[in-house]
Every structure is written in C-alpha cells, then in structure tokens.
Homo-oligomer: A and B are copies of this chain.
Amino acid sequence: MPSFRIASLASSGLARSFTTTARRLEIRDVSELPNRIVPNYKNSPTSSLLSLEWPSPPRNVLIVPKLYAPLVISSAVEFAKHIHSEYPNLHLIFEQRIASTIHDSLPFPIYSSDPTHFPTKIDLVATLGGDGTILRAASLFSLHASVPPILSFSMGTLGFLGEWKFEEYKRAWREVYMSGSRVGVSDLQGPHTQAATNGWNDGGNDAVGTREGWATIRGKNMGTTRASKILLRHRLKVGVYDENGANINAHLMPTSTAALTQPLHPVPPEIKELSNTGEPVVPDLHAINELVIHRGPNPHLAIVDVYVGNRFLTEAVADGILISTPTGSTAYSLSAGGTIIHPLTKTMLLTPICARTLSFRHLCLPLNKKVVLKVSKKNRGRELEVSIDGKRRAGVTIGMEIRVTGEVVGQVGDDDTWTGGVPCVIRSSGQGDEGDDDDGWVGGLNERLKFNYPVG
C-alpha cells in the first residue's frame, strides 16, 4: 500500500508532507486537504425526507468514535481499513485525541487538526457510538450554518438518534457514498474487492472529483435513482449576552469534550462577518438537542425572566429552564415532562425543570420565534449554569441573558446552497424500496423509549 499512498499524495498536491518523518506521514494536517464538497438535498413528493445528492464523490471523511471505549476504537479501525481498501482516494480524519490513539493501528496516513478546520474541509461524518457521540460530532460544527451529512452507527446499546447497526457498515457506507451519483450499483450487498480503474467527470466548485470516481467502484450498481434519505434535524441558534448586551459567545467554553480544557477554538476568519457597525459578527452557537439554564450546584432555586417575541412571558422560579429542538424532545425535555415532538415539526419547546408553581406547563413555539432568558436580579446564588447539548458552556450572572431562536434551514444565496440543520443519513431497509418514507421515528418511540408500553 505505501506506493499507492505516495501516488495519492502527489496527485492531491500534498506531496510536501511526504518528505517528513514516518510519524508526520501518519497524522497529517487537515488544512492540507482539498476543500469541502457541499451536497444537495432534493425534496421528494412522496416523502418528507430529503434525498442526498453529491455533485462529486465525497473525499474527506471525519470518523468520530465514542471516547474512552476501547471496543468502539477497534470498530473504528476496522471501518477505516475497509474504507481505505475499497475507496482508496478518500482521506480519513480523526479528532486529535483519537488520532494519536489510533494511528499506530492503521497502515496508512490519517488526518487530524484542531477542530477549527473541520467545517471547511469535512465532506461527510461517520460516528460510532451512542447519542452522545452524535452530539459531540455535531458540536464540532456548532459555530457553522452548514453541517456535513452524518452517518451514525450505534454500537451495543441502542441510542435514540443512532441509525445504523455497525454490522451494516459496508452497505451503509456504499449507499451514502454513491448517493445521487446516477451510477448504477448492482451488488449492494456483495463484496467490493476490486479497486476503481476509470477516472470520472466532475465539474463542481474546485472539486477534482469526476463522475468516474464513482464509476470506478465496479459492481456497485445501486439503480440510478437510488439515494440516501436525509432527515434534516433542526438546530437552535444561541447567543449569550453580558449585562451590557454584548455577545460573549466567543468567550464560552468549547463544546467538544475531546478538548475539554482548551478555550473555545477561535472562530476561523472565513466565517467572521462584519455587522452594520463594522464590528465582526460573533457567530451563534447551535444546539441540536437543547439549551439549558440550571441552578447547577447552587442549592437555591434559579430565577429567570422569560421573554417570547419581545414580550415578557413569565418569571420562572425553578431548577432550570430548557429550550429544546424537536430532536431534543426525547432527551432532557422528556425527563422534565415535555412533549415528544416529531423531528420534522417546525417548533421549539420551552420546558421548565422543576418549576416551583403548579401552573408552568411546557410550551411549543414556532421555530422562528425569539426567546430570551434573562437572569433575574432576584437570584440569590452566584451564577447559573448554561449548557448546550449536555455540555456546560458558561456560568451566567445577574443581568446576563441568553437569546435563542430556530436556525433558518433551506436553500439560500445565488447558488442555492443548502444551509442549516444537521443532515442525518436515515437507515434504509436495503430493499431498494423507492417510496419508503420511514423516518424511523415511530420505531424509535416503541423500541427505544418504550412508548406506551403495555401494562399487565
């Protein structure tokens, strides 16, 4: 394999790394990779799911295994080897902590870096683990409007968000890799031992990625209209403001536990915009499950003023308040008594956590409403804790506020690029059933949440 690796490097303009030590060879820097390929998502008349359509084959794949779980790391190695041998032109990327654990087990170079570079480079993410791993993967893109598609494998115990069983990884991978390619794939379930021989035509942004890329994956005829189904999960945009109304997102703690002790990775220049006043716009944080404000270790009740659409709604006296996406409705919000919401519903859910009245019912708001949570002057504790998707991000004190609204999702700009949401690859039945509109939600309620589990 080394010879191939050299060729690959040369052709992709990364040859300069080649002269470095073996060590450097094995973990290369993500910044050397070609830029991201952004897929299209097509609406279907028969389904509320979207169809994934790659303009050219994906090249840069981030693999996110569960942390501290040796068996999952082994599976990640197995998965990486399979991809490397069957889809040789792909670059495999890992978070730094994982990369340094794993590189010895892999006979080919892998890529890593500070997560700052991921949003501009990653075409596709594969997670191996539970719901927490998917949340961690999504959090790597929490400052960005465009998240790459996520293919998630659940390992052992089932989670609620995980879609594919790890045993299905070969089929799952091929399906998402080929999605929208219009290249017939005949033996989806069979072995894929023969490497590609032909190049392929692919215009795209700057993507070299020709159609031949797919064509060369011989024997992989999927039927020309076959495409992976995407569930675009809504996110919430979150801004934390100090007593003077200044956004302090940039000072918050990083989301990824992979780098728990680091400061928030600096906002990469390309996403720094200027506001009307000439100041750089601070990026929003995005939550895929929820934003929580909680008393934390504070023994006293938290007191938070809640505004909806600029109107004062209520003074919440409670352990905390959470604002959840539909996705997060089966997470903390469910435990706090909230309603369960189908992920395609355009709503956000305000759920109190142990509120000290008899009459604080959970609320559903249109996703485009603006909600503000303001730390009341009446608080007796020092500070309240702000968490996003289960990770503590800030301690907020009297006068500070958190502004939350739904992220805009859809095609924007002149080039109609998709923006917003977390595109999750839905498990297909593997039967080639075109009209299948199963988003897996009903199954998840029954099998995982034990919804309305019969008595007696």
| Interface residues of A, Cβ cutoff 8 Å to B | 48, 157-160, 296-297, 299-300, 308-319, 326, 329, 332, 334-342, 344-347, 349, 352-366, 368-369, 385, 387, 390-392, 437-438, 442-443, 445-446, 448-456
Contact = CB atoms under 8 A, between A and B. Distances in A.
A299, A318, A445: most-surrounded residue (chain B CB, <10 A): A299
B449 A455 contact: yes
A353 B355 contact: no
B368 A48 contact: yes
Contacts of A361: 334, 339-340, 358, 451
Contacts of A360: 358, 451-452
A356 B335 contact: yes
Nearest to A354: B335
A292 to B, nearest CB: 10
B159 A456 contact: yes
A363 to B, nearest CB: 5
Complex copy number for this chain: 4
A159, A300, A338, A342: most-surrounded residue (chain B CB, <10 A): A342
A437 B310 CA distance: 9
A245 B369 CA distance: 41
A368, A385, A448, A455: most-surrounded residue (chain B CB, <10 A): A455
Contacts of A296: 296-297
Contact of A448 (B316, B387, B455): B455
Contact of A358 (B48, B336, B359, B369): B359
Nearest to A353: B354
B340 A369 contact: no
For the complex of A and B, list the 8 residue pairs with the smallest distance between their C-beta atoms, beginning with the closest.
Answer: A358-B359, A335-B354, A339-B339, A297-B297, A360-B452, A341-B364, A359-B359, A314-B452
A338 B338 CA distance: 9
A449 B349 contact: no
B340 A355 contact: no
A346 B300 CA distance: 28
Nearest to A360: B452
Nearest to A348: B345
6 contacts: A326-B364, A339-B339, A347-B364, A352-B452, A357-B454, A449-B455
Contacts of A352: 452
B345 A445 contact: no
Contacts of A335: 318-319, 354-356
Contacts of A442: 308-309, 311-313
B339 A363 contact: yes
Contacts of A318: 335
B368 A341 contact: no
Nearest to A331: B356
A454 B318 CA distance: 12
A442 to B, nearest CB: 4
A46 B303 CA distance: 31
B363 A340 contact: yes
B342 A369 contact: yes
Contacts of A358: 334, 358-361, 449-451, 453, 455
A343 to B, nearest CB: 9
Nearest to A316: B452
Contacts of A448: 455-456
A365 B339 contact: no
A361 B351 CA distance: 14
Contacts of A338: 339
